[in-house]
Amino acid sequence: MNIRESLISRFTRYAAISSQSDAGAGRVPSSEGQRKLANLLARELKDLGLTDIYLSEQSVLTARLPENLPEGHPPVPKAGWVAHLDTVDAGANPDIFPVLVVNYSGGDICQNEEKGLVIRAADHPELARYIGEDILVSDGTSVLGADNKAAIANIMTALQYLKEHPEFCHGEIYVAFTPDEEIGLLGAKALELSRFPVDFAYTIDCCEEGELVCETFNAAAGTLRIRGVNAHPMSAKGVMVNAAGVAVDFVSLLDPAATMENTEGREGFISVGSISATHGSAEVGFIIRDHDREKFAQKKALLKTAADFLQAKYPKAEISLEIADTYANIADSIRADNRVCIDYLYAAMEDLGIKPKPLAMRGGTDGSFLSTKGILTPNYFTGAHNFHSLAEFLPVSAFEQSARVTIKLMELISGGKKTVQQITKPYFR
């Protein structure tokens, strides 16, 4: 088989099924397209020789490729690969029409002649690195959805490679395709771990070639609810407690320098994302993010202090604060006895001549949840740029490199030529 052709044809086949998630749906999967894509993948997995194929009520698809090690081979770890079925709702067209730009010659990329949509080279200087290469882009009305269909195509291509190379020895391999990653890792949370009994796993859910993520945010979301005291203007003085005003007070107590728009790298933040208020009642929705567990806890404590302060200031109001964790930093799950999966990742890139670019991801992956459940799940690149943007693009050469990493990992895990003890590079920071 030709890896490149398999990747492109699979990617376009999966992209043709609209599977944007819907944060307001209140169910998993949040959109029917995700179930449709999962059904297609279930059929394809069967053709590729996988067993124990299971599509749950919530459209979590799991499957197992039995090991084919020669008799007497020492046992090897069970490894899993995870990719998500949904594409992000970027407020654009949910339907994706990929365009293959052949032999990119530099300058702006025209995505859509009719609508005059382009990716501007001036806004995206990173394009210049791919002159002379083929690049997948959207038609400008939607994201490309390399996040995360490039990963699905990657994993399926690797499985096809194993099928066509029976001489390639490997241990048990598990796959999990999850819905609704983009709206709170809901599919990963619905994954039945008994159907994914792996020693460790990988997601393929970040951007350019070489990116490798063993650090994500700790994440929580919360709501401050305020019940005020309403009154007629004739008798409001000294009686009324304006819930809208209390909400404004709350927001003003937060550090204006530690917001999403004013932080980068490993700086955490509290970001207010919604305020609804009347005189009588108000709700402030916010998210908390920090790579550092202690600082994350401090941010939660700060919010609690702010709520207590306001309750004392407005004793006649009813103020309640609710905060729930969403996911945790992968780095906090790394231990001496499980970090081998990260060593494999560095080894795979080194073997392929790819320069690792470790990244403290300002976000989370399905692995940020799975790692808290005891399945350490680092993340590596799809090869794409500009996830969640209409300017998302995927250079085919980087896409191929990403698939080669997957196949190389499968080789190394089954006891390929490089042993992990030889890998001494720091895995993060």
Question: What positions carry a catalytic annotation?
Answer: 86, 181
Q: Which is nearer to Zn ion, 188 or 310 (CB)?
A: 188
Instruction: With CB under 5 A as the rule, give the number of residues binding Zn ion.
Output: 3
Give the pairing type, strands 281-290 and 117-119.
Answer: unpaired
CB of 46 closer than 8 Å to CB of 57: no
Question: H helices then E strands: how many in the chain?
Answer: 9, 17
Choose the stretch contacting Zn ion; rule: CB under 5 A; options: 198-206, 318-326, 338-346, 388-396: 198-206
Kindly state whether residue 148 participates in binding Zn ion, applying the rule CB under 5 A.
yes
Kindly state whether residue 147 participates in binding Zn ion, applying the rule CB under 5 A.
yes
The three-state DSSP-derived secondary structure of 272-339 is EEEEEECCCEEEEEEEEEECCHHHHHHHHHHHHHHHHHHHHHCCCCEEEEEEEEEECCHHHHCCCCCC
End-to-end CA distance of the chain: 38
Give the pairing type, strands 393-395 and 135-137.
Answer: antiparallel
Q: How far is the CB of 23 from Zn ion (least distance, A)?
A: 15
Q: How far is the CB of 130 from Zn ion (least distance, A)?
A: 21
Q: How far is the CB of 147 from Zn ion (least distance, A)?
A: 4
Choose the stretch contacting Zn ion; rule: CB under 5 A; options: 70-78, 141-149, 276-284, 318-326: 141-149
Q: How far is the CB of 145 from Zn ion (least distance, A)?
A: 10
Q: List helix spans (H) across 126-283.
A: 146-164, 186-190, 243-252
Kindly state whether residue 326 participates in binding Zn ion, applying the rule CB under 5 A.
no
Residues written for the chain: 429
Q: Which is nearer to Zn ion, 145 or 416 (CB)?
A: 145
Q: Can you tell me the distance from the alpha carbon of 411 to that of 404, in angstroms, rounded to the nearest whole number?
A: 10
Closest CA to 330 of 358, 352, 301, 350: 358
Q: Which is nearer to Zn ion, 87 or 242 (CB)?
A: 87
Q: How far is the CB of 204 from Zn ion (least distance, A)?
A: 9
Q: How far is the CB of 77 from Zn ion (least distance, A)?
A: 25
Q: Which is nearer to Zn ion, 281 or 406 (CB)?
A: 406
Choose the stretch contacting Zn ion; rule: CB under 5 A; options: 6-14, 171-179, 201-209, 285-293: 201-209
Q: Can you tell me the distance from the alpha carbon of 393 to that of 402, in angstroms, rounded to the nearest whole number?
A: 15
Q: How far is the CB of 87 from Zn ion (least distance, A)?
A: 9
Q: Which is nearer to Zn ion, 147 or 172 (CB)?
A: 147
Q: What burial class does residue 363 get, using C-beta atoms within 10 Å of its C-beta: 0-12 exposed, 13-18 middle, 19+ buried? A: middle
Q: How far is the CB of 179 from Zn ion (least distance, A)?
A: 12
Choose the stretch contacting Zn ion; rule: CB under 5 A; options: 169-177, 200-208, 298-306, 311-319: 200-208
Q: Is 227 helix (H, G, I), strand (E, B) or coil?
A: strand
Placement of tokens 């980087």 in the chain:
398
Q: Can you tell me the distance from the alpha carbon of 287 to that of 271, in angstroms, rounded to the nearest whole number?
A: 5
Q: Which is nearer to Zn ion, 182 or 199 (CB)?
A: 182
Give every CB contact of residue 197 below 8 A, 6+ residues apart in sequence.
78, 174
Q: Can you tell me the distance from the alpha carbon of 198 to that of 29, in angstroms, rounded to the nearest whole number?
A: 24
DSSP 129: G
CB atoms within 10 A of CB 252: 9
Choose the stretch contacting Zn ion; rule: CB under 5 A; options: 58-66, 145-153, 234-242, 355-363: 145-153
Kindly state whether residue 138 participates in binding Zn ion, applying the rule CB under 5 A.
no
Choose the stretch contacting Zn ion; rule: CB under 5 A; options: 69-77, 159-167, 202-210, 370-378: 202-210
Placement of tokens 């894509």 in the chain:
37
Q: Which is nearer to Zn ion, 171 or 364 (CB)?
A: 364
Q: Which is nearer to Zn ion, 342 or 384 (CB)?
A: 384
Q: Which of 205, 211, 215, 411 binds Zn ion (CB under 5 A)?
A: 205
Q: Can you tell me the distance from the alpha carbon of 242 to that of 246, in angstroms, rounded to the nearest whole number?
A: 6
Which residues are at the interface with Zn ion (CB under 5 A)? 147-148, 205
